[in-house]
């Protein structure tokens, strides 16, 4: 629900903090603090977006919803980003369902104001496009991860991402919730959690998960966690190779077919 006042810095969101001073001065008076409960719906798939949402401690989850009602997470958003930027750039209809995955502060901004900034400021365009491309890379990596890696590897990846965004706090998740986020059956999630607890990586009690061995979890995770984290850490400063046309990239194997 919306709040009339807040005592936290609206620029604690990385995207808002990266805005040029002129854009920030125009946007800041229109930022509205809003609080959601865990599992709360920000926007459903197909919904019309009137605001973009900038987490400042909360975490938002983007879910792809199927005809049978099943939903699986394809990306999550913390204080580094925002939900609704595509609406500010192109379409105002949300492709994903967006729910609250971790409670905390959030501010929202009217889409119309962000559309104006996107059209009038080259800096804002570059910033929004760079972030959106980075978010898309998380979606692509998640698709590959879900189809290739074990439930335990995927669970380590997901918990590490949440541990980063929750800044080390305990994570309030049940096995049922984790199975929905990972697109895995509950039994496999329970077995993975038991294995991780036996290995001393986590403790789990009454729907609360505490990370005990961060380094061990990173070792047990698939490579997807490190790849996505590196991309998000660098999205405000695109590498020079992206401009210079260097196309070697990160490749460990040989692709079949003609590359010409």
Q: What is the CATH number of the domain that holds 154?
A: 1.10.10.10
Each residue's pLDDT, cut to its tens digit, for the chain (260 residues) gives 444 334 457 668 999 999 999 999 999 999 999 989 989 999 999 999 999 999 999 999 999 988 888 888 999 999 999 999 988 888 788 989 999 999 999 999 999 999 999 999 999 999 999 999 999 999 999 999 999 999 999 999 999 999 998 887 789 998 988 998 888 899 999 999 999 999 999 999 888 999 999 999 999 999 999 999 999 988 877 555 444 445 555 555 544 444 44
Same domain, 137 and 154: no
Q: What is the structure's pLDDT at 71?
A: 87
CA angle, 137 as apex, 157 and 97 as ends, to 5°?
80
Structural domain contains residue 226: no
Best CA proximity match to 126, nearest among 252, 238, 46: 238
Q: What is the structure's pLDDT at 29?
A: 94
Cα–Cα dist 158/212, whole Å: 15
Residue 6 structure tokens: 């807040």
Same domain, 158 and 214: yes
- Domain of 96 in residue numbering reads as 10-146
Structural domain contains residue 3: no
Structural domain contains residue 214: yes
The residue out of 85, 118, 146 marking a domain boundary is 146
Model-level pTM?
Answer: 0.85
Starting at the edge strand found earlier in the chain, the sheet holding 59-65 runs 41-43, 97-102, 59-65, 71-77
Same domain, 47 and 87: yes
Q: What is the structure's pLDDT at 8?
A: 52
Same domain, 65 and 158: no
Structural domain contains residue 4: no
Q: What is the CATH number of the domain that holds 32?
A: 2.60.120.10
Q: Which residue blocks in the chain are alpha helix, DSSP H?
A: 14-17, 21-27, 85-89, 111-120, 122-148, 151-165, 175-182, 186-198, 214-220, 224-234, 240-244
Cα–Cα dist 234/242, whole Å: 12
The residue out of 94, 111, 146 marking a domain boundary is 146
CA distances from 236 to 72, 202, 224 (A): 28, 32, 20
What are φ and ψ of residue 55, in 5° steps? -65, 140
The three-state secondary structure class of 247 is: coil
Query: Which H or E element spans position 101?
Result: strand 97-102
Number of structural domains in the chain = 2
The residue out of 146, 176, 202 marking a domain boundary is 146
Structural domain contains residue 198: yes
Q: CB–CB of 127/18 below 8 Å?
A: yes
CA distances from 218 to 66, 146, 213, 229 (A): 31, 17, 9, 12
Same domain, 142 and 156: no
Residue 152, beta-bridge partner list: none
Q: Collect all residues with Cβ–Cβ distance below 8 Å to 28 and sequence separation of at least 6.
A: 10
Q: CB–CB of 59/42 below 8 Å?
A: no
Q: What is the structure's pLDDT at 2?
A: 44
């Amino acid at each position: 629900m919306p709040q009339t006042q807040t005592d936290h810095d609206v620029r604690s969101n990385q995207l808002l903090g990266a805005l040029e001073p002129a854009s920030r001065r125009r946007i800041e008076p229109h930022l509205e603090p809003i609080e959601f409960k865990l599992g709360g719906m920000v926007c459903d798939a197909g919904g019309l977006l009137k605001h973009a949402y900038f987490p400042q401690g909360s975490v938002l989850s983007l879910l792809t919803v199927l005809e049978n009602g099943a939903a699986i997470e394809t990306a999550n958003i913390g204080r580094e980003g925002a939900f609704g930027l595509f609406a500010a750039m192109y379409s105002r209809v949300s492709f994903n369902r967006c729910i609250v995955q971790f409670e905390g502060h959030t501010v929202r901004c009217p889409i119309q104001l962000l559309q104006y900034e996107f059209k009038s400021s080259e800096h804002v365009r570059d910033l929004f496009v760079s972030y959106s491309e980075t978010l898309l890379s998380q979606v692509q990596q998640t698709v590959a991860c879900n189809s290739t890696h074990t439930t335990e590897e995927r669970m380590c990846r997901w918990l590490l991402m949440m541990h980063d965004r929750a800044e080390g706090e305990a994570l309030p998740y049940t096995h049922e919730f984790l199975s929905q986020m990972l697109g895995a059956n509950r039994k496999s999630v329970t077995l993975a959690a038991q294995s991780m607890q036996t290995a001393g990586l986590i403790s789990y009690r009454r729907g609360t998960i505490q990370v005990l061995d961060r380094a061990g979890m990173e070792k047990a995770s698939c490579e997807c966690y490190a790849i996505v984290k590196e991309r998000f850490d660098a999205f405000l400063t695109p590498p020079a190779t992206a401009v210079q046309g260097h196309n070697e990239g990160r490749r460990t194997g040989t692709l079949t077919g003609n590359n010409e």
